[in-house]
Chain A
Amino acid sequence: MNLRLDLLGERVSMKHGAGGRAMRQLIGEVFTDGFPKAPAGAVGLDAMDDGAALPLGDGRFLVVTTDSHVVLPAFFPGGDIGRLAVSGTVNDLAMMGATEPLGLTCAVVVEEGYPRADLDRIHASMVAACVEAGTTVVTGDTKVMGKGQLDGVALNTTGVAIATRVVRDCGLRAGDRLIVTGTIGDHGCAVMAARHKLDLAGDLRSDVAPINGLIRAALAAGGDGLVTLKDPTRGGLSSALHEMAHKSGVGVLLDETAVPVNAAVRAASELLGIDPLVIANEGKALIGVRPAAAEAVLAALRAHPQGRDAAIVGTCTAERRGQVVLDTGFGRRLLVEIEGEPLPRIC
């Protein structure tokens, strides 16, 4: 869209953290400027990818990513902030093609008066998530802030991994296929229902999980035919598609009827008037593949327990570059990227 929106006001608002256009504008205008250039051949800050890739000089790359986690409530059906912190960083590494994390750092900021028992629970689920991902926490930091200076607990994790081939989010061309690895909207819906105490029937559970194993299987099956990876977290599948379309300079035709959505999420999102396409996921990936590799990657995903519901949902086009056209099964319309938050903060 050729809109000139003044999303960056005098002060930061919640929409600047929502994963949509407002956030990208804030990052672009405030944070990416002025730093010395990254080393030649690196994927650096200006790429605004899921992480950085620094060349080691032997053809391999050190992939680094960092992520801060604040979520209300800290415990929700299907997971908690600890599982989220490990999964988010492991997945960001995987989205660069680095599926074997060497280790994670973990910084914890806690509010005075925070229950020790809750910290124990968070720690236990971090341990469990590390075991699932085949990694561990290798160093950390702890700070306590005064009562009211922080709402509960915030976690930051940084991950490092070695990759021989870095997968970007910008390698698409017309004709490429887009695959989602499973149902969308589960995490955002579960958190929203827990936060607002929406007494919704049905099993709303977050999908938060490390999916580096799933991505490893997809990479093995697709080889060089697997060209882009992106995890549809904040802003949902819609934001991930827009970002890929924009960075690759292609259009996207999304087949809405092919997008997997759990019945409970569909019902809840309909009730709340929020499109599942803009709801956050924490255990899914959007994968771009060359047409010839599509079936092999899909089969490999479906053979993995985390990818049973994987589906081909879209095709890249030479028309409408940077835009996403939604085929609803009834007709076609543009899918608009959200400007701010469709709901309060969810990850």
Chain B
Amino acid sequence: MPEGADSRQLKFRDPARARDLGRALTAAAEAMGRTVSLMHVCGSHEQAIARYGLRASFPRSLDVIMGPGCPVCITDTPEVDEGVALARQGVTIATYGDMVKVPGTVLSLGDAQAEGAKVEVVYSVTQAVELARATREPVVFFATGFETTAVATAAALLGGVPDNFSVLSAHKYIPPVMEIVAEMPGSKVEGFLAAGHAATITGWGVFEAFVERHKLPVVVAGFEPLDILAALVKLVELVRDRKPEVVNMFPRCVTREGNRNAQEQLFKVFRPAGGRWRGIAHVPNGNLRLRDEWAHVDARRRFDIDLRPLWKFAPPALVQDCICGDIMAGIANPKQCKLFGKECVPDTPVGACMVSSEGTCKIWHLYGGVPDLSSSDAPQGEVRP
């Protein structure tokens, strides 16, 4: 069956409705008579915005900034170093494909692999556990991702793992970092688009305290183009009406209380701990670390991870020009980085944002480096037959 019929069945991708929402968004934003800055905190949102060329339909007075929403990008250098050190100590590291190229202080896991270390790419924690079952050698799952993926790690541990399996947790917890960004000096962000899939776990209620404290509206959004446009319209209206509220625009998946069972499992295994997010700051309660009851599977406690051999080298010169931190904090965009698309490309990334499929730089590079291609400078001409 050719296009026509099936695309129209996807009601969250209906271009006609998108145009209506685009007009509503423009009307709402322009009625404010000034620039409005909104932040989303999710790589999947940036993916959808870039993929569908949505930025071209945003009014000029609306600034949609990508915040620290890529779990791979915000995994801090010392955390990567821990994985690299373990791999070089002869332990098999199993991790998500995106992590392999992320630069550590000196080496990435991919570099360690090229040196002979055992690094296995897995698609899920379950696969890492299977890997451990098939061998007697120690296997460490280098666990990255937000609460969405952390739940899967927790469930695997609760389900029972072999003795040679342990977890190096670099899991992160999104709600605390929103506080950091909201409090960042000079922040112009007037409202947040919250990630629908994370809210599926936490529930939208988790943002109520945030809204109360910062008097900034939060709208929970899904990932289809219409989801995003509708959520942005709502968010601009909340800013305009000075209504700091949480609004759930993804009700087909998200409830107020979220997935209780998942939350229970998550916090049975992990505890929130303070720690650095790459390029952002120290985020109180922003890391998920294994609880004491799980010390026997905690790679940090089972192994003596010696990072010193990695620190003898000077950091690569290019890294000093990398502005990933500013990009993830929403202060700069990739176009403002002098490495973007030149020294820093997906095959040879300098910063973490060019590595992950959810990184802003990778996404912008993939979709032409000019995500704000406005219709005014686009070619003329009627396209449809």
**Residues in chain A within 8 A of chain B (CB atoms):** 1, 3-5, 174-175, 182-183, 251, 253-255, 257-263, 266, 273, 294, 298, 309, 311-312, 314-315, 317-320, 325-336, 339-340
Instruction: Report yes or no: A257 in contact with B7, Cβ–Cβ below 8 A.
Output: yes
B53 CB-CB contact with A under 8 Å: yes
Closest to B382 in A: A315
Using known A-B contacts A175-B381, A261-B2, A319-B378, determine if residue A334 contacts B55 with beta carbons closer than 8 Å. no
Chain B residue, CB-CB nearest to A250: B379
Residues of the A chain whose Cβ atoms lie less than 8 Å from the Cβ of B6: 263, 266
Smallest CB separation, B226 vs chain A (Å): 9
Confirm or deny: B375 has a beta carbon within 8 angstroms of a beta carbon on chain A. Answer: yes
A314 contacts which chain B residues (CB < 8 A)? 383
Closest B residue to A254 using CB positions = B383
A332→B1 CA distance, assembly (Å) = 26
* Beta-carbon contact of A333 and B383 below 8 Å: no
Q: Which one of A183, A309, A320 contacts B379 once the chains associate, using CB atoms below 8 Å?
A: A320
Chain B residue nearest in CB terms to A309: B2
In angstroms, how far is the closest chain B Cβ from the Cβ of A238?
11
- Kindly list chain A residues whose C-beta atoms are within 8 Å of the C-beta of B366: 336
Tell which of B105-113, B116-124, B266-274, B340-348 binds the partner. Answer: B340-348
B380 within 8 A of partner (CB): yes
Q: Which residues of B have CB within 8 Å of A320? A: 378-379
Q: In this complex, which of B367, B380, B383 has the most chain A Cβ atoms within 10 angstroms of its Cβ?
A: B383
Q: Are A334's CB and B383's CB within 8 A? A: no
A interface footprint on B340-380 (CB within 8 Å = 1, 0 otherwise): 01100111000000000100000001111111011101111
Interface positions, chain B 1-47, Cβ under 8 Å from A, are: 1-4, 6-7, 13, 15, 18, 22
- Choice from A298, A325, A329, A339 contacting B15 with Cβ under 8 Å: A329
Q: Which residue of B lies closest to A259 (CB)?
A: B3
Taking CB as reference atom, which chain A residue is nearest B58? Answer: A331
In contact, B225 and A258 (Cβ under 8 angstroms): no
Asked whether, in the complex, the Cβ of B373 is within 8 Å of the Cβ of A258, the reply is no
Given contacts A325-B373, A330-B53, A331-B54, contact A319 B341 (CB under 8 A): no
Query: How many residues of chain B are within 8 Å of chain A by beta carbon?
Result: 45
| Nearest A residue (CB) for B9 | A263
| Interface membership of B126, Cβ < 8 A | no
- Across the two chains, which residue of chain A brings its CB closest to B5? A263
Give the interface centre of A251, A309, A320, A328 by most chain B CB atoms within 10 Å: A328
Report A-chain residues with C-beta under 8 Å of the C-beta of B369: 1, 334, 336
Q: Is the CB of A319 within 8 A of B383?
A: no
Q: A315-B383, A332-B373, A335-B368 are in contact. Are A3 and B342 (CB under 8 A)?
A: yes
Contacts of A1 in B (CB 8 A): 341, 368-369
Shortest beta-carbon distance, B365 to chain A, in Å? 8
**A254 proximity list for chain B (CB < 8 A):** 383
Contact indicator A331/B56 (Cβ below 8 Å): yes
- B50 at the binding interface (Cβ < 8 Å): yes
User: In the complex, what's the smallest C-beta–C-beta distance from B216 to chain A, in angstroms?
Assistant: 27
Q: Which residues of B contact A339 (CB under 8 A)?
A: 345-347
Chain B residues positioned under 8 Å from A263 (CB to CB) = 1, 6
Q: Which of A4, A315, A334, A340 contacts B381 (CB 8 A)?
A: A315
Name the residue in A174, A175, A257, A262 with the highest tally of chain B Cβ atoms < 10 Å from its Cβ.
A257
Known: A183-B2, A319-B378. A328 touches B367 (CB 8 A): no
* Minimum CB distance partner of A313 in chain B: B383
Q: Contact at B57–A312, with CB atoms within 8 Å?
A: no
Tell me, rounded to whole Å, the shortest Cβ–Cβ distance linking A171 to chain B: 18
Asked if B303 is an interface residue, CB under 8 A from chain A, the answer is: no
